[in-house]
């Protein structure tokens, strides 16, 4: 699987500096994250445009040395893996960080079935408490 967003490599570096002891930021009651433009079973062509939806909280760019703004965070895309249920959100080919506050991404996916989740994380790439994770969306990438 190949991704068109170069920033995924940066996320590996940023996440490597995190500590396991970082506290989770609280999420707003009723906050939810969702995929706006794709539905289960939808056939698509690669690259796939994925639009990130959020309600009840705000998107803010990752700022390692800045203040943590309450009720904000940034999106993480999970592809063909289970989303994390606690702690830090991994950074690898299946867990892509959008720490600049992006609200959509164009992603290269191989032909076949792929399941995606959106996960909302705080400025330290930690899950909020309680976690804000989308329902899975399974798409079929046509050759």
pLDDT at position 116: 98
- Which tops the pLDDT comparison, 69 or 66? 69
Domain borders along the chain are 7-18+25-141
State the SS3 of the chain: CCCCCCHHHHHHHHHHCCCCCCCCCECCCCCEEEECCCCCCCEECCCEEEEEEEECCEECCCCCCCCCCCCEEEEEEEECCCCCCCCECCCECCEEEECCCCCEEEECCCCEEEEEEEEEECCCCEEEEEEEECCCEEEEECC
Domain 7-18+25-141, CATH number (from 3.80.30.20, 2.40.10.10, 3.30.930.10, 2.60.40.10): 2.60.40.10
> Residue 27's pLDDT is what?
94
pTM, whole model, 2 decimals? 0.82
pLDDT at 58: 95
């Amino acid at each position: 699987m190949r991704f068109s967003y170069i920033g995924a490599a940066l996320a590996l570096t940023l996440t490597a500096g995190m500590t396991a002891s970082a506290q989770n930021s609280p999420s707003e009651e009723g906050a939810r994250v969702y995929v706006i433009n794709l539905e289960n079973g939808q056939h698509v062509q690669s690259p796939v445009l994925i639009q990130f939806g959020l309600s009840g909280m705000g998107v803010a760019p990752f700022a390692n040395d800045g203040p943590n703004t309450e009720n904000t965070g940034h999106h993480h895309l999970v592809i063909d893996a289970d989303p994390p249920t606690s702690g830090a959100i991994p950074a690898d080919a299946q867990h892509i960080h959008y720490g600049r506050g992006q609200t959509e991404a164009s992603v290269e996916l191989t032909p076949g079935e792929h399941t995606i989740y959106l996960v909302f994380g705080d400025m330290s790439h930690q899950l909020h408490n309680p976690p804000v994770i989308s329902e899975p969306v399974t798409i079929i990438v046509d050759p």
